Structure 1
Amino acid sequence: MNWLTRACPLLLLLTLAVEAKPTAEKTLDAVAFNQRIGAPLPATGFRNANGDAVTLTALVEQGPLILVLSWFECPHLCPMVLDQLAGAAADLPFAAGDYRVAVVSIDPRETPAQAAQLARRLRERHGQIVSNWQLLTGGAAAIDTLADAVGFQYAYDAERDSFAHPAGLVVVATGGLVSRYLLRIERGQPDLHLALVDAGRGKLGSPVDQLLLRCYHFDPDTGRYSVAVMRLLQVAGGLSLLALGGLIVGLQRRRSP
């Protein structure tokens, strides 16, 4: 029974991984995309990196729009999402003016100066592909109006001065209706290309299944994983638990007379 003795601690650890749910996460269960295909984009005003007034409805009149609600000073998942978008955009067979990208800060304290800093960092990493991106800031009312319109459900953690929010893109069709949500961005995959083609034609997509990434934090004091990876760990732990359980049952049957 040595195999069973060795397997039991692993089984216990996997059970704990599946059942683990940090206290903070209990208040963050609503953090998700409530996908609102066909919803109109609000004519809400923001400021770009130069401090000029910009409305998203004006941007989308010129073609389809990729909308990212983010946090400019985010130390977690947000920079990865923008880097992945830039990488995927580099593979698109479109001219720079065929579509627009708007990255809107969800922190009302962030300023056009911080937007300009992020724009410089993105240009240093990705060059011309990000040169036309609009990095926008605005007040709390404008941010909440936009978030509600596109179903972007997020939460502010005052204790850690941090934002928990879903990671992904909203593709808006020419004319201003939400066309599609992309919750994964991968180079070499056709999803973004097809989403922009459909959005350029005014075509609306369908809601996508959510194995959701949530951007939050890692707390070194407690050793807790961030909410961004907790869901993935729970899913992986659950699958591993099922596989190990099946292995144990199979071995027991094999050893039975």
Structure 2
Amino acid sequence: MDRFALRVWAAAAVTVATLVAAALPARAQISAQDLSDRVGIDQRLNDLVPLDASFVDEKGKAVKIGDYLGNKKPILLVLIYYKCPSLCNRILNATLEAIQPIKYTVGKEFDIVCVSIDPRETPDVANRKKQSYVRSYGREGSANGWHFLTGTESEIQRLAAATGYRYAYDPKFDIYAHGAGIMLVTPEGHLAQYFLGIEYSPRDLELAITQASEERIGSLVDDIILYCFIWDPSTGKYSLQILRVVQLGAILTVLVLGIGIVRMVRKEKRNPMLPPGPRTDDPSGEKKNA
């Protein structure tokens, strides 16, 4: 590696170090908050959901998670709460956008089971939320396959623990901090696939429904989106964690520079610079006789 390449690499290292150092105070402030560490989604593929977990549907009827399984149809499991001021609606809207263009219909090839993580919510609240989304979905018969449940704190926690869904109540803002994502469960009750974040690919979802209906388990998905998306208890909102964004950007910068340097060195080895030719004039400016 020549001197120029070394200078470029050194400059990149200094830049990265400066950016990370500048972001350290933000990280220290966030890591001091307990809620941030208690919120997230751990993918537990192939684990069995508690089929006997008891809830109440939007009509006030006592039901169990297993009631929606065993009929050769997978379910899309969505843990949210219905009076959530922001993120839950984005998750539901993203779910709606993902299921609208696919060939499968809610209530026919698969069901959707939404479960509130707030034990204070009632079937009446759940029913209003259901009517809104069933109307927006617009496919005939979908009301029979889209369920909005409420339940006790113990049953909610039981289901959440089994699915790797970690959440926490923030009494300061009277809000639940939680991860962003939905889960696909096979007809026999096994966790088949996770979709993380607030945007889900219709194509991937359709394929996952096909596989889950055959009791096939998917693979772990990249949680890079959630890596930067955290709950900030100082504001009661979700926000980007600046240090993590800087870290990711720094890593990408170093990788790009590294690839560029390697290519440059290889090019120099293939096309070495020729040494300078002999001088034809005298430094003194006087011409020499041949």
Shift in Å, 1:58: 1.5
5+ residue gaps, structure 1, are 1-10, 247-257
Alignment of 1:31-70 (within 5 A): 31-42=39-50, 43-62=52-71, 63-70=73-80
- CA shift for structure 1 position 155: 0.8
Query: Is structure 2 residue 212 aligned with structure 1 residue 199?
Result: yes
The answer as to 2:168 corresponding to 1:143 is no
**Which amino acid is 1:93 matched to?**
K
Residue by residue over 1:52-99, the C-alpha shift from the partner in whole angstroms, topping out at 9 and shown as x without a partner, is: 112111202121010010011011211011011111111111133110
Separation of aligned partners in 1, 2:68 and 2:252: 50
Aligned to 1:163: 176
Output the CA distance in 1 between the equivalents of 2:225 and 2:244.
11
Which residue is 2:126 aligned to? 115
Using the alignment, how far apart are the partners of 1:151 and 1:187 within structure 2?
19
- Measured after TM superposition, the shift of residue 47 of structure 1 is 0.9
Contact 2:35 2:231 in 1 (8 A): no
Contact (CA 8 Å) 2:90, 2:198: kept in 1 or not? no
Structure 1 residues 73, 18: CA separation in 2 closer, same or farther (over 3 Å shift)?
farther
Task: Work out the CA distance in 1 between the residues paired with 2:176 and 2:24.
Answer: 24
Superposed CA deviations along residues 73-127 of structure 1, whole A, max 9, x for unmatched, are 0112110110111111111111331101001000000000110121233244433
Asked whether the equivalents of residues 74 and 111 of structure 2 are also in contact (C-alpha less than 8 Å), the reply is: yes
- Select the residue among 82, 85, 89 that pairs with 1:72: 82
- Is the contact between residue 35 and residue 150 of structure 1 (CA under 8 Å) also seen in structure 2? yes
Q: 1:86 to 1:215 in 2, by over 3 A?
A: farther
Match of 2:37 in 1: 29
1:36 Cα deviation after fit: 1.4
Identity percentage of aligned residues = 30
Q: 1 CA distance for matches of 2:112 and 2:89?
A: 15
Distance 2:233 2:36 in 1: 15
8 Å Cα contact 1:91-1:188 kept in structure 2: no
* Structure-2 residue corresponding to 1:250: none
Paired residue secondary structure (1:154): strand
Question: What amino acid maps onto 1:57 in structure 2?
Answer: G
Distance 2:230 2:129 in 1: 18
Q: Offset at 1:242?
A: 6.2
What RMSD in Å do the two structures reach over aligned CA positions? 3.2
Tell whether the 8 Å contact from 2:36 to 2:230 is kept in structure 1 after alignment: no
Distance of 2:88 and 2:176 partners within structure 1: 11
CA gap of 1:143–1:215, structure 2 versus 1, over 3 A, is farther
Cα pair 2:54 2:65 within 8 Å, conserved: yes
Counterpart AA for 2:63: V
Secondary structure of the residue aligned to 2:139 is helix
In the superposition, relative to structure 1, how do residues 184 and 239 fare at CA in structure 2: closer, same or farther (>3 Å)?
closer
Q: What are the ranges of 5 or more consecutive residues in structure 2 without an aligned counterpart?
A: 1-16, 256-290
The one-letter code sitting in structure 1 at the alignment partner of 2:207 is L
Structure 1 residues 18 and 209 mapped into 2: Cα distance closer, same or farther (>3 Å)?
farther
The equivalent of 1:251 in structure 2 is none
Q: Which has the larger radius of gyration?
A: 2
TM (normalized to structure 1)? 0.78
Matches of 1:16 and 1:125, distance apart in 2:
46
Cα 1:17/1:82, change in 2 over 3 Å: farther
* Secondary structure in 1 matching 2:133: helix
